[in-house]
């Protein structure tokens, strides 16, 4: 399978597959409280079987061409990942997301990994609109959307109940022409 370097710091983007269940569970356990502040990602993966089930759902989604999961490894340790929560090539739309344990935060890993995903979606698959949804209080996630050159489309007020609180969800997006122009301006090409 692939391993894409994310820079000189030993970070790599790789597929996250069902056979990674034990490593994935250990990663979730290390960062569960941090990861689940705003989203329930991996919340039900509390044992190896549950971790494998979550990874299998995304592997099946990749086979169906409607979602996928990609891990971020730092010096050989799984510290987070990026994903297509939904992917609709026929309509030219997708939604991306991320998660990260504390050991991976503050290094730009998600931004670098997300650039790889968006380059591929726009350049290879013809995706026109890439969306990013984040809780209004999730400053680090909103900062990634900004770094990616996304535009804030609006807010779904109190639309997302999580841990007994109704969160506002901000919707951000970037369109293919905007993405291509920004990548040319920064000296990068679509993958």
Closest of 95, 96, 80 to residue 34, by C-alpha: 80
Does the pLDDT value for residue 183 go beyond 50?
yes
Q: What is the pLDDT of residue 36?
A: 85
The gap from C-alpha 129 to its chain's centroid, in whole angstroms, comes to: 15
**Percent of residues, the chain, with pLDDT higher than 70:** 95
**CATH 3.40.50.1820 is held by the domain 4-185:** no
* Phi-psi map region of 126: left, alpha, beta (phi>0 left; psi -120 to 50 alpha): left
Boundaries of every domain in the chain: 4-185
Closest of 132, 117, 111 to residue 14, by C-alpha: 117
Does the pLDDT value for residue 191 go beyond 50?
no
Does the pLDDT value for residue 138 go beyond 50?
yes
User: What is the gyration radius of the CA atoms in the chain, in angstroms?
Assistant: 16
pTM: 0.90
């Amino acid at each position: 399978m692939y391993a894409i370097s994310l820079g000189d710091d030993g970070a790599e983007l790789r597929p996250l597959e069902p056979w990674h269940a034990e490593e994935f569970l250990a990663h979730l356990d290390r960062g569960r409280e941090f990861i689940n502040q705003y989203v329930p990602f991996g919340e039900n993966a509390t044992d190896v079987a549950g971790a494998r089930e979550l990874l299998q759902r995304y592997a099946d989604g990749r086979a169906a061409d409607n979602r996928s999961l990609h891990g971020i490894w730092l010096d050989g340790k799984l510290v987070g990942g990026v994903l297509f929560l939904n992917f609709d090539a026929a309509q030219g739309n997708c939604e991306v997301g991320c998660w990260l344990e504390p050991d991976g935060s503050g290094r730009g890993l998600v931004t670098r990994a997300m650039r790889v995903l968006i380059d591929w979606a726009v350049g290879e698959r013809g995706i026109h609109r890439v969306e990013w949804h984040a809780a209004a209080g999730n400053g680090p996630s909103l900062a990634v959307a900004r770094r990616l050159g996304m535009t804030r489309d609006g807010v779904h007020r109190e639309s997302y109940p999580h841990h007994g609180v109704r969160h506002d969800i901000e919707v951000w997006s970037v369109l293919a022409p905007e993405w291509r122009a920004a990548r040319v301006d920064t000296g990068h090409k679509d993958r």
